[in-house]
Structure 1
Amino acid sequence: MSDDLHDFFESDEAWEGNAGVSPLPPSPPRSRREMRRQRALKKRKRLILVVILVVSLVVVAVGGVFATRAIKSWRHANMAQESVAEDYSGPGDSAVAFTIKQGQGVMEVANALQNAEIVKSSETFATYVSSNNLTLYPGTYALKTHMKASQVAQVLSDQGNAKGFAEVRQGERVSEVIDRICTDNDIDKSKFEAIINNKDEAAKILPAEANGNFEGWLEPGTYTVGDVNTAPERLLKEMVQARIKKLDELKVPEGEDREKTLIIASIVEAEVNSSEYYSKVSRVIYNRLSKNMTLGMDSTVAYGAGVNGMQLTNDQLQDASNPYNTRINKGLPPTPISNPGDDAITAALHPADGNWLYFVTTNLSTGETKFAETDEEFQKLVQEYRSNNPDAN
């Protein structure tokens, strides 16, 4: 290749001359061999020119990429410096109450914070929230004007700091929901009890099939408390209406079947700690009902006794006067025993196929649950439970 390049540049010497003076025409080739050599030389020159052009374009492109990256890095660094500059030093001045409403996005919150002069820049606040993967919870928070954006974000992302919101957790009893709402928002519990314990007042909020009982009819979710003086009635209405809407969406039959579905779903959710077993537990309940067997569910006994399952005593398990004692009394309990979530309701509507009559959570650490069709199989599962959980015996 070096000889070819030498020929290439030697052939160019014939084109050089004094400026403005046309060169003499090249001499005609002396043979066919010479003609072939000149044609090959021209091809090589064109190839070399193409290679040089391609290499040049690659160099330019690569340079452009690095230049773009450098510009982006500079911009990010510059934005970071600007963000630092667009922030208060903290810790703040005058005390203010700030409320995040249900459904508000990060930028809505950020703009409201800036308008209230709590943070200096909405962009700085939003950037900190996004870069740290924080979740902002609804509620009312105690803040100050002129706070550092990071400090504000930490307060608003800790649900324990929030006031002014009410939460219903799936699988929770109504009494637990009310206790937490009243504690978190300084509401007199008797205002809720005046509605919950009064059948006439309850009937104004609940559908007829609930028979005046709120258990099972509060839809899990987060609600804004607002005015604490009107909160009890307003919140209960909102929670019940949300529940009815959800049951309609899940296509739960209306009337008595709707209450029955909630009762079964609440037992399903209370008996096992993983949704993977929900549909099988639901099938066990239906199978035992069809055979006129007692359900034998400790979760219902505990609900009627006003304790949790770990607090049950032998006397409570044998108390036939407890209408929720499904170890002794046949059929379903009078009401749901909690406010079940979507998965449990779906399982109550669509139980798995099977002939199981028993189930045992054989490993309390992992929650592993096994199912049996016969009493003999059930006794083997009980022995496995005792072997896996010696401290629980």
Structure 2
Amino acid sequence: MTDLFTAPPRSQADPSFPGPRSGRRAQRRRRRNKRGRAVIVLLVALVLVGGSGYAIWSNLDSLMGLTNPLESKDFPGPGGEQVDVEIPEGATGTVMGQELYKAGVVASVSAFTAAFEANPDSVSIRPGTHAMLEEMPARDAVALLVKNEMVDLQLTIPEGYTVDQIVERAVQVTGLPAEDFEAALKKPATFGLPKQADGDAEGWLYAGTYALKPDKDTAAGLLTQMVDRTEQALRKKDIPGGDWEDVLTKASLVEREGLHAEDKPKIARAIENRLEDGMILQIDAAVAYGAGKPGTELTKEDLRNEKNPYNTYEHTGLPPGPIASPGETSIDAVLHPTPGDWKYWITVNLDTGETKFSETYEQHLAYQQELRDWQAANG
């Protein structure tokens, strides 16, 4: 448990998502820049040699390896390494050709547009990221685009995220409308939320990575995957169905309170000890969840607010439900807490997350002072 104004900041940094594959494009730009400088040098040389330079100029493309996108040149195929190409919304055949040319997929824009116009199915090409091959014949490039085989999106949900944070991240990554998620969450049956959850998805959306097809997946479908993975994890651990909600609730408290994996089984034990003794839990993370604000912004009024059902300073027992999506480490901590008589815990170093546990309130007060000393020294 943590005390007012001393709760360690919970840093839920967004995971890194792969951006566009720009490595090869950057290499091509460097090669083109070098070739451009070489052209200038060669032009100067042609001027110096006069008319004899015409023969060289006529074969300049082959000598320099340059490609003019306006000339109808084509690659023989069959194609090389995979490259991902973003086809913009409302792109014409010419725009598609330009994007493919820049990515090294086709030899010229004109060859692509000719193939695009010759294929009656080209009108079905959808916007999005398509998996292509380098140096493809234009006709093959169009045929591959027509298949609309989009590159999978990777959506990663960090442990400890709330439903609101999960939806926000999903909207950012997938482009699915927030309204679709909101509508699905109001109808739990549409994504298979178990009855134990009592209509609230909090804690039931599994923290992990999902591979998605942006042209196929829906908000309800994504939520279904998340709930399914949570149920699979609970079943794999042989947790009775009637205990699922309580386990997730306790694990979510552990998730939000414990920074280090080795501390989580101790926090789980301290929570159990308090529950067994009928003590209030006094967990700031739960109060903050119910108040709809970060734990670092809690006030004394928040801690006294009896109307907040998640106020573990005013209400004994567990809060009404989970406060976030716990990771499996936190679930395991609840299932296998470390033996001990601890009833208190406090983070004494907000930089390292060092947490100390105590069995008595007197010892806890000493650790509180240790935290205050750290705060004074680190301003």
Q: Tell me the TM-score normalised to structure 2 length.
A: 0.61
Find the residue that maps to 1:206 and give its secondary structure. coil
Output aligned runs, 1:27-106, within 5 Å.
Answer: 90-91=28-29
Larger helix proportion of the pair: 1
Native 8 Å contact 2:348 2:374 kept in 1: yes
How far residue 309 of structure 1 moved from its aligned partner, in angstroms, is: 1.1
How far residue 375 of structure 1 moved from its aligned partner, in angstroms, is: 1.3
Q: 1:22 maps to which residue?
A: none
How far residue 339 of structure 1 moved from its aligned partner, in angstroms, is: 0.6
The equivalent position to 1:266 in structure 2, one of 237, 252, 259, is 252
How far residue 215 of structure 1 moved from its aligned partner, in angstroms, is: 1.1
| CA deviation vs aligned residue, 1:183-204 (integer Å, no higher than 9, x gap) | 23322111101111335x46x5
| CA deviation vs aligned residue, 1:166-215 (integer Å, no higher than 9, x gap) | 2221111111010011123322111101111335x46x511111111111
Q: In the aligned structure 2, how far is the partner of 1:344 from the partner of 1:294?
A: 21
* 1:293 corresponds to 2:231: no
Output aligned runs, 1:183-202, within 5 Å.
Answer: 183-199=172-188, 201=189
Q: 1:364 maps to which residue?
A: 350
Q: 1:241 maps to which residue?
A: 228
Find the residue that maps to 1:366 and give its secondary structure. coil
> Larger relative CO (CA 8 A, sep 6+): 1 or 2?
2
How far residue 365 of structure 1 moved from its aligned partner, in angstroms, is: 1.2
Q: In the aligned structure 2, how far is the partner of 1:385 from the partner of 1:253?
A: 40
Instruction: State the one-letter code of the partner of 1:179.
Output: E
Find the residue that maps to 1:90 and give its secondary structure. helix
Instruction: State the one-letter code of the partner of 1:303.
Output: Y
Q: 1:384 maps to which residue?
A: 370
Find the residue that maps to 1:369 and give its secondary structure. strand
Q: In the aligned structure 2, how far is the partner of 1:228 from the partner of 1:320?
A: 47
Instruction: State the one-letter code of the partner of 1:197.
Output: K
Q: 1:79 maps to which residue?
A: none
Instruction: State the one-letter code of the partner of 2:192.
Output: I
Q: In the aligned structure 1, how far is the partner of 2:232 from the partner of 2:81?
A: 33
Native 8 Å contact 1:164 1:225 kept in 2: yes
Instruction: State the one-letter code of the partner of 1:169.
Output: P
How far residue 145 of structure 1 moved from its aligned partner, in angstroms, is: 7.2
Change in CA separation of 1:87 and 1:225 when aligned onto 2, cut-off 3 Å? closer
Find the residue that maps to 2:356 and give its secondary structure. strand
* 1:321 corresponds to 2:307: yes
Instruction: State the one-letter code of the partner of 1:347.
Output: A
| CA deviation vs aligned residue, 1:230-278 (integer Å, no higher than 9, x gap) | 51011011111111111222222322x1111111111011012111100
* 1:254 corresponds to 2:217: no
Q: 1:66 maps to which residue?
A: none
Native 8 Å contact 1:165 1:223 kept in 2: yes
How far residue 146 of structure 1 moved from its aligned partner, in angstroms, is: 5.0
Gaps of 5+ in 2: 1-23, 33-66, 70-79, 86-99, 106-127, 136-150
The equivalent position to 2:157 in structure 1, one of 159, 162, 168, is 168
How far residue 225 of structure 1 moved from its aligned partner, in angstroms, is: 3.2
How far residue 348 of structure 1 moved from its aligned partner, in angstroms, is: 0.5
Q: In the aligned structure 1, how far is the partner of 2:371 from the partner of 2:25?
A: 58
Gaps of 5+ in 1: 1-85, 95-109, 121-139, 148-161
Native 8 Å contact 1:90 1:146 kept in 2: no
Identical positions, percent: 34
How far residue 308 of structure 1 moved from its aligned partner, in angstroms, is: 1.6
Q: In the aligned structure 1, how far is the partner of 2:26 from the partner of 2:182?
A: 46
Q: 1:281 maps to which residue?
A: 267
Q: In the aligned structure 1, how far is the partner of 2:193 from the partner of 2:231?
A: 9
Native 8 Å contact 1:225 1:231 kept in 2: no
How far residue 388 of structure 1 moved from its aligned partner, in angstroms, is: 1.2
The equivalent position to 1:307 in structure 2, one of 278, 286, 293, is 293
The equivalent position to 2:167 in structure 1, one of 167, 175, 178, is 178
How far residue 324 of structure 1 moved from its aligned partner, in angstroms, is: 0.5
Change in CA separation of 1:114 and 1:340 when aligned onto 2, cut-off 3 Å? closer
How far residue 112 of structure 1 moved from its aligned partner, in angstroms, is: 4.0
Native 8 Å contact 1:163 1:184 kept in 2: no
Q: Tell me the TM-score normalised to structure 1 length.
A: 0.59
Q: In the aligned structure 2, how far is the partner of 1:89 from the partner of 1:371?
A: 55
Change in CA separation of 1:87 and 1:360 when aligned onto 2, cut-off 3 Å? closer
Instruction: State the one-letter code of the partner of 1:311.
Output: E
The equivalent position to 1:224 in structure 2, one of 208, 211, 214, is 211
Instruction: State the one-letter code of the partner of 2:278.
Output: N
RMSD: 3.2
Q: 1:206 maps to which residue?
A: 193
Between structure 1 and structure 2, the one with the greater Rg is: 1
Instruction: State the one-letter code of the partner of 2:202.
Output: E
How many residues are paired up?
257
Native 8 Å contact 2:260 2:353 kept in 1: yes
Find the residue that maps to 2:315 and give its secondary structure. coil
How far residue 392 of structure 1 moved from its aligned partner, in angstroms, is: 8.6
